[in-house]
A = this chain, B = another copy of it.
Amino acid sequence: MDALQTHVHAHVVQFLDELSRLVRQPSVAASGEGIGECAALVAEIFRTAGATLTVFTRDGAAPLVVAEFPGAGQRTLLFYNHYDVQPPDPLGEWTTPPFQPTVRDGKLFGRGVSDNKGNLISRLSAVRTLQAVHGGLPCRVKFIIEGEEEIGSVHFEEYIADHAAALAGDACIWESGSRDTKERLVLVAGVKGDCYLDLHLETATMDLHSSIGAIVDGAATQLIWALASLKDPTTGLIRVPGFYDRVRAPTAREREELRRLPFEEEEYKELHGVKRFIGGKTGEAAKHDYFYMPTCTVSGFISGYTGPGSKTVLPRRAAAKVDFRMVPDQDPQEIATLVGQHFAAQGFGDIAITLLGGERAYRSNLDDPFIHLVAHVAAEATRREALVYPTSAGTGPMYPLGTTLRVPIVSLGDGYWGSRAHAPNEHIRLADFEETVYLMARIMQEFGRQP
């Protein structure tokens, strides 16, 4: 054990206490619950740790917290994180309440313990460790901590455009990261985009008796038809005309990288109780789709009577939420427009469409030295493999950060294959958290040594 490792191990309970304090503060971006309070708590925690704080605000936006630590040299390492979390529903499926962080079997459970408060605190704990062991940081460090990541970072692009100078840096560690079932570290150098639509249909001025069903279709039936038309049940291909027009095919290099990387399909199926993939795909074909193809998922639907027993009603209203994960160079606003045109062409032009969140996809240059540095430290310090995926299947605001601040971006974090981000019983393994604190400290060291 080196001095950093020793320090982290001796203080990990303290670091976890700080994480628990942050998890106890709800911060649900979807509903707005606790967002302001959580931004204030994050600012207080970083101020107490010695950071210089800047809290940017915009009308109707969650505050953007920027925390800077001085360090050696001229170069600044950016950490991108977020203090907001996913809604905790369905509440009944949590073993312990989502906002009461609880340790069981060497794991810490709670909404946000992984995504993303755990990652945020692991990085702050690395800063504290370097300060304690070496009396200061080997590089300048800047945390960029937003509060709307889980609703599509709706104001992040504007924050970056308006405050590019204040947010500038030389390289960026992205919000999170995982370990696969073989304990290999999983890093990503890109993200998919997202287009999240709220759909609402009203077909009458009142709920009707279902005896009228021979001559009137209810809102549920009509919205079901509209949604069913979005995607082919057999191939999984999206049937919205123009949807694939802007899709940029992965480069030969990106395809080759992906071919060399593992894809734990059987483990995934077993862990999640999934029987088969779309179109019965397996192996390279499933891996390709997972990383390089866009998606169309109904994330929510409600209409009519959903209580116990029966109610013979023909519902006047139906509402749905649809999530499209996009690839370069698809544009969320354009996708929303295409979906509207498609609905109208199918006879469902009455459906009101609201774009709740839109983000573009992004892929870093895989040859950037910073990406190699992070992967090298991760592998060397853990003596395990570190896999750099050209893109995540998930989303985040890499596009505005990467294109405006012009920095290489790669992720590394405290999660593992079973962390259940976005689901009930989200958790991290305490050992992963400790390892991540150490890795972050080592990355700062190596970054400080680079010219």
Distance of A331 Cα from B224 Cα, bound (Å): 26
Contact of A204 among B87, B210, B272 (CB under 8 A): B272
With known contacts A217-B236, A297-B218, A290–B212 Cβ distance under 8 A: yes
**Partner-contacting stretch, out of A70-78, A129-137, A418-426:** A418-426
Assess whether B300 is in contact with A215, with CB atoms less than 8 Å apart: no
Distance of A421 Cα from B313 Cα, bound (Å): 10
Distance of A346 Cα from B420 Cα, bound (Å): 32
- The verdict on A51 contacting chain B, using a C-beta distance below 8 Å, is no
With known contacts A212-B393, A300-B220, A315-B299, A423–B206 Cβ distance under 8 A: yes
Interfacial residues of chain A within 223-270, with CB under 8 A of chain B in the complex: 224-225, 227-229, 231, 233-234, 236, 268
Chain B residues within 8 Å of A421, by CB: 209
- The verdict on A448 contacting chain B, using a C-beta distance below 8 Å, is no
Copies in the complex: 2
Chain B residues within 8 Å of A225, by CB: 228, 233
Distance of A312 Cα from B93 Cα, bound (Å): 17
Contact of A319 among B90, B306, B310 (CB under 8 A): B306
Chain B residues within 8 Å of A93, by CB: 206
Measured CB to CB, the nearest residue on chain B to A222 is B233
Chain B residues within 8 Å of A431, by CB: none
**Partner-contacting stretch, out of A12-20, A160-168, A274-282, A406-414:** A274-282
Measured CB to CB, the nearest residue on chain B to A282 is B215
Chain B residues within 8 Å of A289, by CB: 214-215
With known contacts A309-B151, A310-B196, A301–B214 Cβ distance under 8 A: no
Q: A171-197: contact bitstring with B at CB < 8 Å (1 yes, 0 no)?
A: 000000000000000000000101010
Contact of A221 among B297, B308, B346 (CB under 8 A): B297
Assess whether A206 is in contact with B310, with CB atoms less than 8 Å apart: no
Chain B residues within 8 Å of A307, by CB: 30-31, 87, 89
Interface centre among A204, A274, A297, A319, by most B CB within 10 Å?
Answer: A297
Measured CB to CB, the nearest residue on chain B to A357 is B310
Assess whether B305 is in contact with A321, with CB atoms less than 8 Å apart: yes
Distance of A121 Cα from B119 Cα, bound (Å): 67
Tell me how far the C-beta of A294 lies from the nearest C-beta in chain B, rounded to whole angstroms. Answer: 7
Chain B residues within 8 Å of A294, by CB: 214
Chain B residues within 8 Å of A321, by CB: 304-306, 310-311
Distance of A392 Cα from B212 Cα, bound (Å): 11
Chain B residues within 8 Å of A311, by CB: 30, 86-87, 89, 150, 299-300, 321, 422
A: which residues have CB within 8 A of B? 29-32, 86-87, 89-90, 93, 150-152, 192, 194, 196, 198, 203-218, 220-222, 224-225, 227-229, 231, 233-234, 236, 268, 272-275, 277-278, 281, 286, 289-290, 293-316, 318-319, 321, 323, 325, 346-347, 356-357, 392-395, 420-424
